[in-house]
Each structure stands twice: as C-alpha cells, then as structure tokens.
Structure 1
Amino acid sequence: MQKLILSASILPALALASCNAAATGDSAPTASTTGEMVSGEMVELQGTSPFAAESFAELDRPWALDFEPGTGRVFITEKGGTLKVMHPGTGVIGTVTGEIPSVVDERQGGLGDIVFGPNYADDGHVYLSWAQDAGGGMTVAAVGRGVMSCSDDAACTLSDFSEIWRQSRPAERKGHYSHRIVFSPDGQHMYVASGDRQEQDPAQNLDNNLGTIVRLNLDGTPAAGNPLAGQGSPRDQYWSWGHRNILGMAFAPDGELWEVEHGPAGGDELNRVMRGANYGWPTRSYGENYNGDPIPDHSADDGFAQPAIWWTPVIAPGGMIIYDGSMFADWRGQALIANLRTTSISRVTLNASANSANEASRYEFPERLRDIAQAPDGAIWVIEDGEGGRLMRLTPGSSD
C-alpha cells in the first residue's frame, strides 16, 4: 500500500530536488581538540515537541554517529575525514587517531558511516565507509574494518584498518554514495547500501553493484544464500536493487529490514527490503526528473517492489533508526527518520505484513538533521548537517 503525503500543514511547497538542498545553519564550526570538556546546553525546539533537547558539541559537517557497546561513548564521523569521540557522562570530546582512511571530501563525498561490529566486545571491530579516490577524477564508495582501542574517554586509536568492500566501478560524479552499513540481528551478515552515483541506469544493470543493497559476510565477502549467488561477481553480493540514494537503513524488532531513500524531484520513499526485489529506479518513481520530464509512477502490475510510503514534496531523509528503547516506550517498533529538507524527525509506524507505513507525526527542529541514533539508555541523539552542526541528546519533554 502506498501513501502520498501532501499535507500543507506540515510540508512546504518545495520545487527543488531533495539531494540538491543547500545546507542551512548560521554557526561556524568549532573544532574540538583531544581532551576538551563540553557541557550540555538546552536547545529551544520549534512547534509542539515531545523532546527536551540538549546540545553537547558543534562539529565540522558531521555525517554519522554510533555508540560504542558497553562504554556509553559516542563516535561521530565528520565529512572532511575526522572521527570524533565524546562521552556524555564525563563531557570530554576527543579526536580519534590512527588509521583513518583518506577520503575525497567533495560534494556529497567524504567520511561516511560508522558502525560497531556485532562482536565488538571480543574483537574490537568497527566499520567505516567513505568516498575513495579511484584515479582520473573518479571515486567509489568503500567500506573498511579496523580495531578501536581507547585509553580514556578522549583518547582512542583506530588500528589494523583495511578496505573490505568497494563499489564495483568508479563514477565521475561525486554524489549518491549512500554507503550506509547495518548488521543482521543475528550478527552474521553486513548489509551495505550502494547508491546509483547520480547515473540512474546502473541501478537496473546487474553487471555493477551501483543502486543496490549488498549482503556480505563480516569480512566483506559475498554471503551464502544471496539471490544471485551463482552468477559471479558482483552479482553474488546483491540482496536487492533498483535503488537511488539510500541514506537510512535499519532492522526492525521483527527482523525486517527497512530503508529510506531520496527520490528525484519528489518521491522520497521508505521500502521494506526483500530478498531479490527490484525497487524500480529509474524506470519507476513517484517523482520526476529534475528537468521536468515525467517518470512513470508505480503500478500494481509493473513487476517492481512497491514503496511502503512516499513523500511529495520531499523530506530529504538522512539517517533512520527503528526505536526499541524504554525512554519513548510507546514508539517501540516505529521508524524515526532524520530529515534534511524539512528540518525535522518523522515518526513512522510500520506494517511489514501489509508492506505499508504511516507517518504518525513530524517534529520540527531549527536546522537540517543528518543522522539519528539510539543511546543505550533509550535517549535519542541527532546530529545537524553542515558546518557547526550540533550533537544533541533528546529526552522526553512535553507530551506528543
């Protein structure tokens, strides 16, 4: 079941495409040095909000965040190639040293996702994605794995880092890397989103892994049981294809994988990710091309997997979680999407059996939101997009 979101009360009439949105924000970045103390500052949110928001740091174009298992430390990637660490309990922020990959910091490229591995307590493995120089002005999205060690809350080092996966062919354009990473609930497999690199057609060409979600072993090799496992590389990596630019991906408590991706001029969509499914880009979309040329909408008989919900005008989604904590207990099993264009968090209820979803509420924020994470205590953390983007902790405030 698809749902078209057009409510004028919560969506401005926007003509620009989601991925071309200019960053907002009126504060300059303040670079934090190792051992710098930071303290929370309350943030005034717009409209009626269920959150009390506290800002802990201003960062230089932050892109992703994740919590280190067992310690409470939060790690944040900055697009320019820096990895930060902060402990909310001590208020100390530092810069991770060691083998941070060299990135191409251009347009949408740079240092991307950070995710702690499912066996982190035993092996210390942390995974990073980034835009990598492929020579001749070309780039690829890459994923690597290393070992994180910390002597204190502000002194952490990444070692034994090596690349374990990359896009199968480079592209000249510096956008639509996607490169989000999630692990299966059983901790056996890694899923990586690989964007279409603004080229569209590769998403329907199975001879490359652009416009796909790949399913891998934890060392980056293709996993057994993939739908095209017997067809050689790179087809043996694919889990699904026909994707445009995935910027949020998460497993629900019932084990279902969901992703949220940018449409073109309209048609941002949330999809339940199914094994061997083709999601239709660029053959079908609920948006249209930037030049105004139409793209056929999905139809019941078009042979493609249908989005559970789509947005026109766009929300320009960033990161996404599916909440399972106790601090916002009524939201368990619901998706929370950090939005760039609408400077908001969308709360979405999910119905996997019906392949449907519903935007239950939208909460306004002062600036564009790039990523969202759930802390061990159930608090929700977000990072703002751009220079001076704030790291904020959200706890219950007024009732929704």
Structure 2
Amino acid sequence: MSLAVGGGSIGRGVVACVLLFTLAGLAAQPRVQPVATGLANPWAVAFIEGGRFLVTERAGRMRIVEPDGRVGAPIGSVPPVVAGGQGGLLDLVLDSDFERNRQLFFCFSEPGPGGNSTALARARLAPDRSRLDDVQVIFSQKPKVASSLHFGCRIVETPDGLLFLTLGERFVRKQDAQRLDNHLGKIVRLTKDGQAAPGNPFAGRHGALPEIWSLGHRNSQGATLGPDGRLWMHEHGPQGGDEINLPQPGRNYGWPIITYGENYGGGPIGDGITARAGLEQPLHYWVPSIAPSGMAFLTSDRYGPDWKGSLFIGSLKFGYLDRVELADGKVAREHKLLEGIGRVRDVRQGPDGLLYLLTDSADGRLLRLLP
C-alpha cells in the first residue's frame, strides 16, 4: 500500500507514523462532558457536598447545580450588586474549613456614593442550601468610581488562612494604579475579617493603605496559588499586553507606565515604553490579547503525566482553553485546547481531580473535561 502525495508516494511505514501522530494529537484533546446548561453569564464555580456545584451568575444570582445537572432557584440573601458592563456578582471561593463552618467568600460590584467598587463579602451557606446566612461585607475598594469596567475580583486563600483579592483600576482611573492612597489597580492581602493582613509591605507607611500587597495592575480576572505556594495571577492588557505575573510584596507591575499593549484603536499608552527601572516585567505576555479569565494549576494525575503541573487559563476573546507548560518557573509552551468552546470565564480543578469550565454567555454552561 502507498499513498500518493504531491505526485510522489508514501509507503506503509510513513503512513503508520502519520496515523499514530494524528491519533496522538486527538488523544491530547480532552473530552467535554456538559454538566449543566442554561446558566446566565456564570462567573465562578465552587464544589460543595454531595457532588454539587455552587455557581455565581453576573446578574446577581447564586445557584446550586445538582450532580445530574439540574439548576436550582436563586439562593436567598445575596446582597445587591451593580449588574452592568463588566460588573455584577463575580468570584466565589469556599473557606478552607467549609465542611465545618459552611463559610464562603464572594466578591461583587458594590453600589455606593460616587458610583461603585469591588467589594468582598463573607457568608455561611445554610444547611438546606437555600440561602446565605450571616452575610457581611468585610472589605470595600476605595474609592467608589462611576464606571462599569475593570473590577478585577478574584479571591485566593493562602495556606495560613489569609485572603488575596485582585482589584481593577476601573479603566477611567488608570493613573491611580500607581498611587498608594487608593485600592485601584492593586492586589490586597486581608484577614478573613477584612482587615489588613499582618506583615503587609506598606503597613505603617504614611499615605499608603495598609491592605495593599502590590500595585501597578490593570484588571485581573485570574488568580491562583502555585504548587510552590506563591500567588500567580494574570491581567488584561489594553489592545495587546495581557500578562502573567507572580506578585511579590511591595512590587510595582508597571501599569500604565509600561505595557506591551497599545490604546484601543492604536497609538501608544503614555510614553509607549515596555520597561523602566523599578517596574517589574511580566513572567509572560500575549500580543494580541487573548482576554484571559480563570486560572488553575492541575495537581492531579487524571490526565497523565504530561498535563500534571500545567497552568490552565481560559480565553474570553478566542474561546479556547490554554494549557501552559512551565519549565524552571517560566512559560515553555502553550497549547490551545477546545478551540471554539465559547468564552471561558472560569477554570477550576474539582475534588475528583478533573478540570471544570464555565462558559460566559446568556446560555452559559458548566463543563467537565474527561481524560
């Protein structure tokens, strides 16, 4: 047997190799299993008892998804949110001791004098899962701004029981990302009561807010702890220049002084520079922008050794899942998975070791990736 190609021929051995490589490429793509459909612009998912899921919808609803995919009625006692533009009910994480205390944290766009801002709330999920109890807003970004853009709003709990919260610069106030007297364009580190965490880098500095961990950020919609316990995050650039960063205490990540992006419609931002002394370079950046959202390290071996340790990031703009291979703490390769799956808003590893995605649309889906 031979296969004619371009006027020549390929023998059996080469054909076999081609088929093997093709099959290997197909095997590298995970199978997608829909868990639930009909979610309205879902933003975050958490895993609760009995194989159930807790999902936020941007319009201000929180719902239970049953293991068989049934979507429950909205949970009661969710506080009012500013649902418009990029704002609404956004991230959600369970307390590390959730099985005992039923406590969870969520962030949202909070209305108030002068506009709105990102807020962090703490609550307990009622035993019957019908409502939130003991709801308390423990932190509000200052100042409130009249904008519907760039809320940030990803939450990460650290092994020592503290909370990181990413905060956008609200688009119209990008220069404030360089100032320490506000929370715009910052990452803050908090106790579970919403207070500045002990040891924060600007504590006691005149004119600086003690909650601030790092500054010079634009709009982070992905954050997670790495296997080494460090905080990883990504942030949206303008037109180009999305970034992965490892925020260190007191460091300045440059926005809007340095960027690998440009103004919408073209033209430089500021001086149009990509580096300056005293400002941190990103670990990785994308040009053009992929509009990243959601971020998770795979720590399980459910997908085989090649995937374990990879970083998974959703693309809102291009509708795929990005598998990021790392080597020596740097990005070595990227693999586009599930192209055309839709706007991937959240990526999480479940307690079963599998990856779960949320797609952001009026008919959003919760998806499970099977090996």
Q: TM-score, normalised by structure 2?
A: 0.87
The range that moved more, 162-171 or 326-335, is 326-335
Secondary structure of 1:230 counterpart = coil
Aligned length: 340
- Pairing of 1:19-98 with structure 2 (within 5 A): 48=26, 50-55=29-34, 56-68=36-48, 70-88=49-67, 90-98=68-76
Per the TM alignment, residue 72 of structure 1 is displaced from its structure 2 partner at its CA by 2.5
| 2:145 is aligned with 1:171 | yes
Looking at structure 2, the residues matched to 203 and 97 of structure 1 have their Cα atoms a distance apart, in angstroms, of 35
Q: Does the 8 Å contact 1:108/1:176 carry over to 2?
A: yes
Cα distance change of structure 1 residues 350 and 226 upon mapping to structure 2, 3 Å threshold: farther
Q: Relative CO higher for 1 or 2, CA cutoff 8 Å, sep ≥ 6?
A: 1
The AA in structure 1 aligned to 2:162 is H
Looking at structure 1, the residues matched to 332 and 230 of structure 2 have their Cα atoms a distance apart, in angstroms, of 16
| 2:239 is aligned with 1:265 | yes
Per the TM alignment, residue 369 of structure 1 is displaced from its structure 2 partner at its CA by 1.0
Per the TM alignment, residue 96 of structure 1 is displaced from its structure 2 partner at its CA by 4.4
Per the TM alignment, residue 191 of structure 1 is displaced from its structure 2 partner at its CA by 0.2
Matched with 2:350 is 375
The AA in structure 2 aligned to 1:380 is L
Looking at structure 2, the residues matched to 358 and 173 of structure 1 have their Cα atoms a distance apart, in angstroms, of 37
Per the TM alignment, residue 282 of structure 1 is displaced from its structure 2 partner at its CA by 0.2
Q: Does the 8 Å contact 2:218/2:255 carry over to 1?
A: yes
Per the TM alignment, residue 327 of structure 1 is displaced from its structure 2 partner at its CA by 1.1
| 2:117 is aligned with 1:140 | yes
Secondary structure of 1:94 counterpart = coil
The AA in structure 2 aligned to 1:77 is T
- Pairing of 1:354-373 with structure 2 (within 5 A): 356-363=330-337, 364-373=339-348
- CA displacement, residues 253-284 of structure 1 (integer Å, 9 cap, x when unaligned): 11121101100010011111211111000000
Q: Which runs of 5+ in 2 are unaligned?
A: 1-24
- Pairing of 1:1-400 with structure 2 (within 5 A): 48=26, 50-55=29-34, 56-68=36-48, 70-88=49-67, 90-136=68-114, 138-151=115-128, 155-184=129-158, 186-198=159-171, 199-231=173-205, 235-295=209-269, 296-299=272-275, 302-330=277-305, 331-351=307-327, 356-363=330-337, 364-396=339-371
Percent identity over the alignment is 36
The AA in structure 2 aligned to 1:203 is A
The range that moved more, 110-119 or 226-235, is 226-235
Cα distance change of structure 1 residues 359 and 102 upon mapping to structure 2, 3 Å threshold: farther
- CA displacement, residues 300-328 of structure 1 (integer Å, 9 cap, x when unaligned): x5221111110001110011111112212
Looking at structure 2, the residues matched to 179 and 280 of structure 1 have their Cα atoms a distance apart, in angstroms, of 19
Per the TM alignment, residue 117 of structure 1 is displaced from its structure 2 partner at its CA by 0.8
The AA in structure 2 aligned to 1:59 is L
Matched with 1:15 is none
Secondary structure of 2:221 counterpart = strand
Per the TM alignment, residue 232 of structure 1 is displaced from its structure 2 partner at its CA by 6.2
Of structures 1 and 2, the larger Rg is shown by: 2
Q: Does the 8 Å contact 2:75/2:132 carry over to 1?
A: yes
Q: Does the 8 Å contact 1:319/1:372 carry over to 2?
A: yes
Cα distance change of structure 1 residues 176 and 270 upon mapping to structure 2, 3 Å threshold: same
Looking at structure 2, the residues matched to 259 and 108 of structure 1 have their Cα atoms a distance apart, in angstroms, of 19
Secondary structure of 1:121 counterpart = helix
Per the TM alignment, residue 122 of structure 1 is displaced from its structure 2 partner at its CA by 2.4
Looking at structure 2, the residues matched to 96 and 376 of structure 1 have their Cα atoms a distance apart, in angstroms, of 24
Looking at structure 2, the residues matched to 140 and 244 of structure 1 have their Cα atoms a distance apart, in angstroms, of 14
Per the TM alignment, residue 121 of structure 1 is displaced from its structure 2 partner at its CA by 2.2
Looking at structure 1, the residues matched to 63 and 287 of structure 2 have their Cα atoms a distance apart, in angstroms, of 35
Per the TM alignment, residue 291 of structure 1 is displaced from its structure 2 partner at its CA by 4.3
Per the TM alignment, residue 349 of structure 1 is displaced from its structure 2 partner at its CA by 2.4
Cα distance change of structure 1 residues 349 and 297 upon mapping to structure 2, 3 Å threshold: farther
Looking at structure 2, the residues matched to 319 and 159 of structure 1 have their Cα atoms a distance apart, in angstroms, of 27
Matched with 1:37 is none
Q: Does the 8 Å contact 1:99/1:160 carry over to 2?
A: no
Per the TM alignment, residue 157 of structure 1 is displaced from its structure 2 partner at its CA by 2.1
- CA displacement, residues 229-252 of structure 1 (integer Å, 9 cap, x when unaligned): 112686211111100000000001
Q: Which runs of 5+ in 1 are unaligned?
A: 1-46
The AA in structure 2 aligned to 1:64 is A
The AA in structure 2 aligned to 1:381 is Y
Q: Over aligned residue pairs, what C-alpha RMSD do you find?
A: 1.8
Cα distance change of structure 1 residues 85 and 232 upon mapping to structure 2, 3 Å threshold: farther
